[in-house]
Amino acid sequence: MTVVDELAKVRVRPLPRHVALIMDGNGRWAQARGLPRLEGHRQGVRAAERLVRFVAAERLVPCLSLFAFSTENWNRPRDEIENLFALLERFVHEREREFVEQGVRLEVLGATEALPPSLARAIRDVEEHTREGKVLHLVVGINFGGRWSVVEGARRAAALAREGKLDPGALDEASFARLLPTAGFADPDLIVRTGEEKRISNFYLWEAAYAELYFTPTLWPDFDEVALLDALRDYQGRRRRFGRVET
């Protein structure tokens, strides 16, 4: 089955507005081939580049999230963290022109103040230069965690309450959601995790309340366009009731 054939199938039914990808399996991909973990991460970046290019070119979904570096990833060896940051900085720099040409708007989500200064600067620059992109909103989580996001929302609510700009008693789910760092885009309809593990590992938590979850044993560097289309077709076969009873 070709990509063209798969595309034709997914286009006949409604597609999600927001797909979030937990990109797992780079290290295992490298280990299985007797390669250093860094090579697995390099191939993982290339897989991400291919999919972003594909989603934008085909206008599959308006929003795509990539979970690149979690708040827990600081527990990895220092040299691996430094290599990951170098790869992310290169990704941001090298893709800027292509993002602009394809209408991709980059938004990096997370505590970027803790990142290396050169990476933080690169992020700010590319976010600014791509802010007019209308084809695809690309959200990349770097030093991001779902718990961090909820705590950030709580801090903002507390600050507004101290300033007399928020009545805590009037705070509801909708108004709290507007205080979260994720308020600028729709909640994910579909969360895909590669690499066989069946958990969301502190990615979107509040936002995942009604997301469909899709787990695949495919390791991230091998997750290609057809694999993404398979996930979309699986999503299209589900019934999303949001707590309602079908009549």
Burial bucket for residue 216 (CB in 10 Å: 0-12, 13-18, 19+): buried
Determine which one of 73, 187, 202, 234 is catalytic: 73
Query: Does residue 73 carry a catalytic annotation?
Result: yes
Q: Is 220 annotated as a binding residue?
A: no
Contact 221, 46 (CB under 8 A): yes
**According to the annotation, is 199 in a ligand binding site?**
yes
Give dist(CA 127, CA 122) in Å, integer.
Answer: 8
Q: Is 230 annotated as a binding residue?
A: no
65 is an annotated ligand-binding site residue: no
Cα–Cα distance, 108 to 112 (Å, whole number) = 8
Q: Do the annotations mark residue 27 as ligand-binding?
A: yes
Does the annotation place 28 within a ligand binding site? Answer: yes
User: Who contacts 121 (Cβ-Cβ below 8 Å, separation ≥6)?
Assistant: none
24 part of the active site? yes
Residue 24 assigned to a binding site: yes
- Measured between alpha carbons, how far is 193 from 200 in angstroms, rounded to an integer? 7
Q: For residue 21, count other CB atoms closer than 10 A to its CB.
A: 26
Any binding-site annotation on 26? yes
* Residue 76 marked in a binding site: yes
Cα(48)–Cα(94) distance, rounded to whole angstroms?
13
Q: Which of 24, 143, 189, 230 is catalytic?
A: 24
Residue 193 assigned as binding residue: yes
Residue whose token pair is 């909708």: 174
Q: Residues at the annotated binding site for substrate?
A: 25-29, 37, 41, 70-72, 74, 76, 193, 199-201
Q: Residues at the annotated binding site for Mg(2+)?
A: 24, 212
The catalytic residue positions are 24, 73
Q: Residues at the annotated binding site?
A: 24-29, 37, 41, 70-72, 74, 76, 193, 199-201, 212
